[in-house]
Amino acid sequence: MALTIWHNPRCSKSRHALALLTERGLIPVVRLYLTDVPTAAEIMGVLQKLDLPAIKITRTNEAAFKIAGLSKNSTEADLIAAMIADPKLIERAIVINGARAALGRPPEAILDIL
């Protein structure tokens, strides 16, 4: 599987994560997840690779989080459905490298899976 970054070019953390990869000579597949929205299966797969619950990759401070009636106690299914309905709820950046993934918070955290 190719090195992939779920990227939002308007996010400084996401841009920093992408720069960390390219500075090391790596050319990831750049997935603009706001327009190329991940499926439920893809999100669940990434969660498994991250070994994190859905709430850890959900942007809880976004207005859409509250508008959707979500809370930190929402079910995995509800959080994943909300991320699909409004992908700006997906935390960024996420880098996937084969069977491993990392959440770029901070961006340097992605270096652990290279």
Cite the active site residues.
11
Task: Answer whether the bond into residue 93 is a cis peptide, omega within 30°.
Answer: yes
* 107 in Cβ contact with 17 (< 8 Å): yes
Q: At 97, is the secondary structure helix, strand, or coil?
A: strand
Partners of 97 in the beta sheet? 100
Question: Using alpha carbons only, what angle is made at residue 105 by residues 13 and 52, rounded to the nearest 5 degrees?
Answer: 135
Q: How far apart are CA 94 and CA 53, in angstroms?
A: 14
The structure tokens listed for 8 are: 């939002």
